[in-house]
Amino acid sequence: MVCAVMLAGCASAPALPPRADALHIQGIRQGPVASLAASLVGVPYRYGGSTPRGFDCSGLVYYTYRKNGIRVPRSTHAQYRKARHIPRRELKPGDLVFFRTGRHKVSHVGIYTGHDRFVHAPSRGKEVSFASLDDDYWRRHFVGAGRYF
């Protein structure tokens, strides 16, 4: 049961079609954090992973931020706790978006890329992908947004 709860921590709704993801990258002025996150789309999900061999949701944030010289905690909960909380309307590319997908108040995190989209490592058997904050699933599970820069 503990394993099931831990794996549910990065569960998600279906990813958008690859063509929509490719089109999303074009024409958007992204900062270096969001650009690096977008470049990792397609990397497999790996529980506990924080390298391009595989990521879980908080590992993707940890890796992407560290490659940009920004220190963040390793876990989703700690990333949420330490971030400077901002209203959704103030999101900028590279900010973090947090969700409750399980029992814990905050159990999933993604990197905002602009136009209500974010990159995340969804769950076992899936790959790093784009998702939309406007998607019904993510809208219902949205907890808040945070900034580290």
* Residues with active-site annotation: 57, 108, 120
Is residue 35 classed exposed, middle or buried when 0-12, 13-18 and 19+ CB atoms within 10 A define those classes?
middle
Residue 134: C-alpha distances to residues 17, 37, 89, 124, 127 (Å): 15, 19, 13, 23, 20
SS3 for 141? helix
Contact criterion met (CB below 8 Å) for 95 and 106: no
